[in-house]
Structure 1
Amino acid sequence: MKQKVVLITGASSGIGDATARALAGAGYRVFGGVRAPGATSAIPGVEFVEMDVKDDDSVRSAVDDVLKRAGRIDVLVNNAGVSLVGPVEATSDAEVAALFDVNVFGVLRVVRAVLPSMRREKSGLIVNISSVLGFLPAPFMGLYASSKHALEGLSESLDHEVRGFGVRVMLVEPSFTRTKLDINATRTASVITDYETALHASVDAVQQQVSNAPPPDSVAKSILATVEGTYRLRRPADGRAKLLTFLRRFAPAPQVDKSLRKAFGLN
């Protein structure tokens, strides 16, 4: 049986780094897309390719490089992402564009570059790393949540389009994870003082949850299980994500609303 080939975006740190290690350790041939291969710490068994998901030419060049070296891409893990914290009202057009350029259009660029080879092979799996904020609201992370809601709609729609070619699309939905994405999230440049008290309370609540959250290795194990398991469109990445999925579907709306406000320090 041929060794399966995996391409992971955003492989230099956090969930991407942990996933590259987990898949390489499980016997996959792993290519990690990173913006600066020369400045990225080596990962055993992982081959880096230069890729900036914000740039069409960079994405196409990276995918062509993988195909030349490996001949195929069996699994694509779209992990690269950025975050933004601040009131929706304070968010500038440029900040929104920068966020969506990575979290939505970045995924779209890589998918468009990889799909032709998957269609030719009549086989492939695309795993998009979403979040529980892909199905829940997030005060003061409204644009990040919007980008993940968009990713979920894109993924579910795309799966219908490509399954006739033997390609499937899946979503992995982590809750808070102990990575730099949440700890060092960019703040909106504009400040509206009316929101400051609630914003600070929310940021403190999120930081507390992140500090007690599982490490990215736990999400990597879920991604490995997703790649190797039976098809399921959405896979909650941890116990908290499973609970939130259940509550979103079955709990009364006022209970969900109250729990969410408590989690974001808005009580």
Structure 2
Amino acid sequence: MAIDRPVALVTGASTGIGRAGARALVDAGYEVVGTSRCVAGVAPLDGVTFMDLDVADDESATDVVERVIDRFGRIDVLVNNAGIGSAGAAEERSLVQDRHVFNVNVFGVLRMTRAVLPHMRARGGGRVINISSVLGLIPAPYGAVYAASKHAVEGYSESLDHEVREHGVRVVLVEPAYTKTGFDAGVTEPDGPLPAYAVQRRIADDVLSAGIRAGDDPGVVAQVIVKAATDPKPKTRYTAGTTAAQISSLRRIAPSRFFDRQIRKVNKLAG
């Protein structure tokens, strides 16, 4: 069934930024398909068709893209939002845990993007919006693997954008800071905790929770997603919220020693 309205596919749309983004895209005139690993427990959302998707599975990624195209005839926008967090010192986490974070946060983005690109190139247009983070720009003590995954998404997105631009496709980044979601509840704790990091790990967990409580509403990020989807002259990066914009600017202009001190102060690091 082909439709006249543009179609957006949003991963991780059951809660938080993904759900707010799906709602905002509906309001902007899009036919929206939202995904979740199990849509049976997802609350309905007006204007959004939900489909099962596991971004960590090759077949699942390919299947959902094919189902959307079969049903609606097109995909104009892909929002790669699905992701997971990680906590603890890098030394405390096993490679099994770290591989899982990368499988979702990085290879999930690659799977979904590779699945939609042939369709977008054939149509001569499309936009891939990858939800990154300011932690794709700055260090994240006691969140090193999560930060590494977002740094990877940043590098992949900016590089890919240059490859596909001549085919009418753009790849852009949306970079939130702390956002009021259930992100901290889903963060995986280290499977090999060490006494040497115990005190600072608890402080880092408290800093994360406090930041999320004081963070931006997901609707702030949702409006930036719409901007990234509809901007006739898209930018490579869109910061979402005042804090994200300040951090991005500070990273570019602050002397490295000053920035290093600020990272340690904000994260309440000893020494």
TMscore range, shorter length: over 0.9
The offset of 1:227, in angstroms, is: 1.2
Of 186, 190, 193 in structure 2, the residue corresponding to residue 184 of structure 1 is 186
Of 160, 163, 181 in structure 2, the residue corresponding to residue 158 of structure 1 is 160
RMSD (Å), alpha carbons: 1.2
How far, CA to CA, are the matches of 1:218 and 1:83 in structure 2?
A: 20
Identify the residue that residue 126 of structure 1 maps to in structure 2.
128
The secondary structure found in structure 1 opposite 2:128 is strand
The offset of 1:49, in angstroms, is: 1.4
Query: Which TM-score applies when normalising by structure 2?
Result: 0.96
The yes-or-no answer on 1:247 pairing with 2:231 is no
Instruction: Tell me the amino acid that sits aligned with residue 236 of structure 2.
Output: L
Identify the residue that residue 175 of structure 2 maps to in structure 1.
173
The offset of 1:258, in angstroms, is: 1.5
The offset of 1:10, in angstroms, is: 0.5
Identify the residue that residue 106 of structure 1 maps to in structure 2.
108
How far, CA to CA, are the matches of 2:238 and 2:156 in structure 1?
A: 16
Contact kept, 8 Å, 2:84 with 2:186, in 1: the verdict is no
The secondary structure found in structure 2 opposite 1:242 is helix
The secondary structure found in structure 2 opposite 1:53 is coil
Instruction: Tell me the amino acid that sits aligned with residue 14 of structure 2.
Output: S
Percent of counterpart pairs with the same letter? 45
The offset of 1:262, in angstroms, is: 1.7
The offset of 1:107, in angstroms, is: 0.6
Query: Which TM-score applies when normalising by structure 1?
Result: 0.97
The offset of 1:183, in angstroms, is: 4.0
Identify the residue that residue 72 of structure 1 maps to in structure 2.
74
Identify the residue that residue 262 of structure 1 maps to in structure 2.
265
How far, CA to CA, are the matches of 2:148 and 2:267 in structure 1?
A: 17
Q: Which runs of 4+ in 1 moved over 3 A?
A: none
How far, CA to CA, are the matches of 2:25 and 2:259 in structure 1?
A: 35
Identify the residue that residue 84 of structure 1 maps to in structure 2.
86
The secondary structure found in structure 2 opposite 1:147 is helix
The yes-or-no answer on 1:135 pairing with 2:131 is no
How far, CA to CA, are the matches of 2:207 and 2:38 in structure 1?
A: 33
Contact kept, 8 Å, 1:133 with 1:145, in 2: the verdict is yes
Of 231, 236, 239 in structure 2, the residue corresponding to residue 236 of structure 1 is 239
Q: Please, which runs of 5 or more residues in structure 2 have no aligned partner?
A: none
The offset of 1:129, in angstroms, is: 0.2
The offset of 1:26, in angstroms, is: 1.6
Instruction: Tell me the amino acid that sits aligned with residue 244 of structure 2.
Output: A
Q: Please, which runs of 5 or more residues in structure 1 have no aligned partner?
A: none
Contact kept, 8 Å, 2:142 with 2:201, in 1: the verdict is yes
How far, CA to CA, are the matches of 1:214 and 1:176 in structure 2?
A: 6
Instruction: Tell me the amino acid that sits aligned with residue 155 of structure 1.
Output: S
